[in-house]
Amino acid sequence: MSARTARHAALALGGAVGAWLVVLNFGALGAVAWWADGPSALRGADWAAVRFTLWQALLSAALSLLLAVPIARALARRQFAGRGLLITLMGAPFILPSLVAVLGLLAVFGRGGLVNQGLGALGWGQFNIFGLHGVVLAHVFYNLPLATRILLQGWAAIPAERFRLAASLGFGPQASFRQLEWPMLRDMAPGAFLVIFLICLTSFSVALTLGGGPRATTVELAIYQAFRFDFDMGRAAVLALVQFGLCAAAGVLAWRVALPSALGGGMDRPVQRYDMGGAALRLWDSALIAGGALFLMLPLALVALRGLPHVAGLPPEVWHSAARSLFVAIGATGVTLAMALALAHAVLALGGKGGAVLEWLGLAALAASPLVVGTGLYLLIRPFANPRDLALVVTLLVNAAMALPFALRLILPALRAVRDTQGRLADSLGLHGLARLRIVTLPRLRRPLGFAAGLTAALSMGDLGVIMLFAEREGATLPMQLYRLMTAYRLDDAAGAAVVLLGASLALFWACDTWGRGHAKA
Amino acid sequence: MLKLDDVAITQEGFALHAAFSLQAGARVAVIGPSGAGKSTLLGAIAGFVPVTSGRIVWGAQDITRLPPAARPLSILFQDNNLFPHLGAAENVALGLKPSLRLTAPERAQVAQALARVGLAGYEGRRPAQLSGGQQSRVALARVLLRQKPLLLLDEPFAALGPALKAEMLALLAEICTETGATLLMVTHDIADARAIAPDVVLVAEGRAEGPFPTAALLENPPPALRAYLG
C-alpha cells in the first residue's frame, strides 16, 4: 500500500465514522424533533423534572467538590501504606455499575441498613434514602472519588520546589493554602465541577432506583416514563429535546473550560512537604482519609458479603442476561476501538480545521444523553423493523458511541506521539497502511488501547439506559435483570446478581488493562 | 549523480537556496552554522520537506515529488532510527520488507548484516537493551541491507563519545565502500569531515553550495564559515 492510498483509506474510514456519529447524535435528534409535540405537551410534572435535574446536578457537583477538597488535600500531604492502592480504588467508581453502587448504598443508608439500625438503637428517627437526598448521596458516592482524583492531579502539578520555597519562608498550612493550593484550586475546580455536573445531568439509573415520583424525577427518567408507561412518543420526544438543550448548554460551557481528566497517572508520587502542621492536623487528615475510604468501600463490601452466598443459586435467566451483557460489552469494545483508531488516524491525516471538527464530533458524546439518542434511534428504526428485535445491537452501538470520547482522548495523543517520534522513520522505510498499523502503531498504542478497551467493556457491561427503552422481559441485559430483581424485592437474588455484575465489570477491565500493560517494554 | 537544480526551500521565516551536484560515490560532509538549514536540506532530499521550486535529480530520474520511501536513498536521523518495541533483527528486517514476513534466505541476510556490524547474537535485543553504539550499528546494518545508492546522515552519531564516534565513522566508510553509496553527512565536527569526507557542502546565509575540497576549504575558509569555525 502506498502512502497516498493509506492516507485515503484513513480519511475514508475516519469520514465514515464521522458520518455515523452525525447520524447518531444529530440524525436521532432530527427524528426526535420531527416527532415532538409542541412545548405545550409538557405537563407541570415535566417542568418539575427539569428543575429537579438541574438542582440535583448542582447539589451533587457542589457537594462532591466541597468534600473532595479536604480529602485530596489530606491525601496530597500524607504518606502512608496503602496510599497508592486507595488512589487506584478511587478510580473504580468510574467503571462501577451504577445499580451495584445503589444496592451498596441501600445496604448502608436504606430502610434496614446500617445507619438506620444505629439510629433505631439510639431511639432516633429514620433516614429515608429515597428522594432528592438519596439521589444526591448516590451521585456524591460516584463523583467524590472522581473529584478527589482530579484535584490530586492539581496538587501533583504544583512543583515540589515551590513547597520548598514556602518552607524556607516559614509558611504554615494556612499560608500554603492561600499561596499555593488556592490558586491551583481556582484553576481546577470549575472544570471538575462541570464534569460532575454533566455526569449528573444525564443520570438515569440512580434516579430510576432512588428517585422517582413527582418530586424526584430527572428529565432522563421522565423520557423513559413517557416512552414506556404513557406510550406518549410526542411528549417523550419533547422531553428529549429539552434534555438535549440542557446537555448542549452544559457542553458548550464545558467546551470553554478545559475539562480535566481523572484517567491520567502521576498522582501516586507524594511530594516532600514541610507544612504538615502538628498532631491535630495529622489526626484531622487521618480522619478525612479514613472516612473517605469507608464511604467508598463499605457499601461495596456489604453488597459482596450479602451477594456471594447467593451467586450459586441464581436463576438461569440471570446467567442468560449476563451472556447478553457480555456480548454487548465485547461488541461495544470492538466498535469503540475501531472507531477511535479510524478517527484518530483521520484527525491526524486531515490536520487543521477539518481535523478539529472530526475530533469534536468524537468528543461530542460527552455531552450527549443516551436516552435522547435511544429515543431517536427507536423512532428511526420503527418504520423499518421492530425495535425490540434490535435491542441488543442498538444498546451496543449507543454504548460504543458513549465510550468513544474516553477512548479517543486516550488514543489520539498516543498516536500523535508515535507519529512525531517514529513517523519519519516509518515513512523512509515505506511502512504504510496495514503493515504500519500492525508493526508500528498497534504495538506502540497497546497501553492506551488496553486501558480504553477496559473502560469501554466495563462501562457497557454495567450500563442501564437505552436497553430499558428497547428490550422486553426476554431480552434483558444483566443490569436490567438486576433492576427487575430489585423492584420485585427478590433482594437475595439481586445481591447475587450484583456480585456477578460487579465481578464481570472488574474482570473485563482488569483483563483488557493487563493485556495493555503486558509487553510494556521500551 | 545527485543534482540539486536551483532548489528553493521556503518556510515561515526561513529560506534556503541549494544548487550543487555530487558525483556518484562521493563522500560529502554538510557543514555550516547551526540553524542555517543543514537538516532541512537533507529533509528536502529525503522527501520530508517540500521544495518550493527547482528539481532534485538522481541520475536521470527527477525525484523532487517522490514520496520518501520511493527515493533511492537511506536516511539516518539524529534519533528515533529504531522502533523501540522491535528487536534488532526486526528493525534491520524492515529495511528488506516492511511487512516483516521474511523467507528463510532473507532471514539469513538479516543475520549476515547484523554480523557484519559486529552484532551477531543480538537479534532479539530491543533498543533499550542495547548501548548507544550498538543502536547505531543496528541502524547501519539496515542501511547495508537496503542497498540504496544514496545515504543521508543527519548527525546520527552526535550523542556518542569521541572514540565510539570514530569507530562508527570507520564502519560507515567501510559500508560506503562496499555498497558504493554516495554519502551526504551533516556534521558539527570538522574532524568528522576531515576523517571521511573528501568534499564539503557549505550551508550558510541561506545558500547551500559546493562541493569544495575539504582540506582547502578548511585552510582558507570564506567569511561565513570562518565565523562558524571561530
Which of A429, A441, A444 should one mutate to test binding to chain B, selecting the residue with the greatest count of B CBs within 10 A? A429
Which residue of B lies nearest to A425 if distances are taken between CA atoms?
A: B81
Asked if residue A319 has pLDDT above 90, the reply is yes
Does ipTM top 0.90? no
Chain A interface residues (partner B, CB cutoff 8 A):
2-4, 421-422, 424-425, 427-432, 435-436, 439-440, 443-444, 519, 521-522
Considering only the beta carbons, identify the residue of A422, A428, A432 that sits closest to B83. A422
Asked if B5 and B19 count as a contact pair (C-beta separation under 8 A), the reply is: yes
pLDDT at A185 over 70: yes
Summarize pLDDT for A452-503 with one digit per residue, the tens.
999 999 999 998 888 888 877 778 899 999 999 998 888 889 999 999 999 9
Residue of chain A nearest B45, judged by CA positions:
A428
DSSP for A107-125?
HHHSTTSHHHHHHHHTT--
Query: Which residues of chain B have a CB within 8 Å of the CB of A443?
Result: 85-86
C-alpha span between A154 and A172 (Å, rounded): 20
Beta-bridged to residue B15, according to DSSP, are B10
Inform me whether the pLDDT recorded for A264 exceeds 80: no
B86 touches chain A (CB under 8 A): yes
Task: Indicate if the pLDDT at residue A113 is higher than 50.
Answer: yes
Nearest CB to B80 within list A4, A422, A439? A422
Q: What is the pLDDT of residue A522?
A: 41
Nearest-Cα residue of chain A relative to residue B75? A428
- Specify the pairing of strand B150-154 against strand B53-58: unpaired
Give the mean pLDDT of A340-344.
Answer: 93
Rounded CA-CA distance B205/A319 in Å is 76
Cβ neighbours around A245 below 10 Å, total: 12
pLDDT band of residue A129 (cuts 50, 70, 90) is: confident
- Report the CATH superfamily, name and number, of domain A1-39+312-522: MetI-like (1.10.3720.10)
Given a cut of 60, is residue B220 above it in pLDDT? yes
Calculate the alpha carbon distances from B84 to A447, A521, B88 in Å. Answer: 14, 8, 9
Q: Which residues of B touch A7 (CB under 8 A)?
A: none
Give yes or no for residue A1 having a pLDDT over 70: no
Pairing of β B182-186 and β B150-154: parallel
In this prediction, residues B125-149 reach a mean pLDDT of: 90
| Full 3-state SS string of B76-138 | ECCCCCCCCCCCHHHHHHCCCCCCCCCCHHHHHHHHHHHHHCCCCCCCCCCHHHCCHHHHHHH
Query: In terms of CATH architecture, what is A48-262+278-302?
Result: Orthogonal Bundle (1.10)
pTM value surpassing 0.90: no
Give the residue with greater pLDDT, B98 vs A196.
A196
* Chain B residues touching A432 at Cβ < 8 A: 69, 98
Does the distance separating the beta carbons of A431 and B80 come in below 8 Å? Answer: no
- Mapped onto helix, strand or coil, the DSSP state of residue B5 is strand
Determine, for residues A424 and B70 on separate chains, whether the beta-carbon distance falls below 8 Å: no
> Which pLDDT score, from 0 to 100, does residue A320 have?
93
Higher pLDDT, B211 or A277: B211
Q: Alpha-carbon distance A36 to A42, whole Å? A: 11
Q: Where in chain A is the domain with CATH 1.10.3720.10?
A: 1-39+312-522, 48-262+278-302
Q: What is the mean pLDDT of chain B?
A: 88
Write down the pLDDT at residue B165: 87
**pLDDT per residue as tens digits for the range B77-110:** 888 888 888 899 999 998 888 778 889 999 999 9
Read off the pLDDT of residues B11-37 as tens digits, 9 standing for 90 and up.
888 899 999 999 988 999 998 888 889
